[in-house]
Every structure is written in C-alpha cells, then in structure tokens.
Structure 1
Amino acid sequence: MKPSQPTLTPGGQATGSPPQVTLLVTTGCHYCEDASEELATRVALGELQLEVVPLASKEGEALQATHRPAMFPLVLIEGKQFSVGRLPRRKLDRMLARGTTN
C-alpha cells in the first residue's frame, strides 16, 4: 500500500494516512522483537504508523488492563485488537491490501 492511498477507520471512513498500529511489548520477548522489526519495516514502506508501548509504562499497564492479552506482543490497529503473540503477517498483508482495519 502506498502512503497516499486512503485507508478506512473502524467506522468505515476514508482517511489519507496509513493506519495507526500500537504494539504493546514486554522485555525478553522474542515475539515482541520480531513484531517490532516487521512493523518498523512496514513503517519505512509507508504502510502504517507505529507506536511501541512498553508494558512497564503507565500507558502499557492501561492497555494490559483494558485488553488483557494472554501473551505478548499485543497489536492494536486503530485502537482495536488485531493480534496477540506471534504477528500474523498474512493477516496483516490482507488487512493492508483491503485498506480496512477490521
């Protein structure tokens, strides 16, 4: 997806910017490291915007309390839970290709 292509918000509204991805990570987590690297690559390609949130922060604790992930990392797209654990690359590819966050 090119950065200039519109994407859809959870409500279905078109936007001119790539989707916002929030990545909740913890220390010593190889799935977290893998997801961070993959998502950073996609930021460089202009496919998405990324915020990495450490679990040990106030925002991280709040995200954990809200979403209660069974494992890490927790991936949110536009504030909605996308995945926990190993990043599902094919699912992410499909979502980005459709331009939706569902």
Structure 2
Amino acid sequence: MTHHPPTTAETNVSGLPGVTLLVTTGCQYCEDARSELSARSSRAELDLDIVSVGSAYGKALQAAHRPAMFPLVLIDGKRFSVGRLPRRKLDRALSKRAVR
C-alpha cells in the first residue's frame, strides 16, 4: 500500500490492479472503503494508494474527476466508483482485470 502520488515514470511492477482511493475526513464511506481495500491489498489482490483530498495530488484528482461525494475510487487510473464501495462490482472488475 502506498500513500503518495504515482509519477509518470512509476509503473506498477507488481502486475496488480492499481487502486487509488481519494478520501476526506469524517467520511463513513471513506473509512469503509479504506478498510475493505486495505484488506484486499494485504491479500495481494490490488496495489492501493490512499490519497487525502487535502493533498496537492488529492486536489488534482478532485479537479480531474469532480466526484459528487467521497470516496472516489479509481482502478488503473479510471473512475470506478463514488460514494459507497460496490463490493460485487469490485469483485467483477478485479476478476476481469486478472483474466487479461
């Protein structure tokens, strides 16, 4: 699990799906997503990057994706979900990504 913005030179050498979680303070859905995604990261299902909306990278993500609520979840840089983490949809997305 990383806690910094990836650079253009940085690649996901693990081959795992790269998941970015954009969070804010006092957000129940953010804490739920952080817990679930951290558990999956510890089981080597994904490479997790947790980003605070208050950081420079977080502000850039917020400006680029304009989420109506938090958390914002990106998989391999693409918008996956906003708000409550859809676990079944996540399972499907990760299994499709693994088949590639």
Same fold (TM over 0.5): yes
3-state secondary structure, aligned to 1:76: strand
Mapped pair 1:92 → 2:90: yes
Which one-letter code corresponds to 1:31 in the other structure? Answer: Y
Q: Sequence identity, in percent?
A: 64
When the two chains are superposed, the root-mean-square deviation of aligned CA atoms in Å is 1.3
- Given candidates 47, 53, 66, the residue that maps to 1:55 is 53
3-state secondary structure, aligned to 1:99: helix
Give the deviation of 1:99 after TM superposition: 1.9
3-state secondary structure, aligned to 1:90: helix
Give the deviation of 1:17 after TM superposition: 1.1
Give the deviation of 1:18 after TM superposition: 0.7
Give the distance between the partners of 2:15 and 2:55, measured in 1 at CA: 27
Residues 49-91 of structure 1: CA deviation (Å, up to 9, x unaligned): 0000000100000000000000000000111000000000000
Give the distance between the partners of 1:50 and 1:99, measured in 2 at CA: 15
**Gaps in structure 2 of 5+ consecutive residues:** 1-12
Q: 1:44 corresponds to which residue?
A: 42
Give the distance between the partners of 2:25 and 2:72, measured in 1 at CA: 13
**Gaps in structure 1 of 5+ consecutive residues:** 1-14
Which one-letter code corresponds to 2:15 in the other structure? Answer: S
Give the deviation of 1:16 after TM superposition: 6.0
The farther-off stretch of 52-61 and 16-25 is 16-25
Q: How many residues align?
A: 86
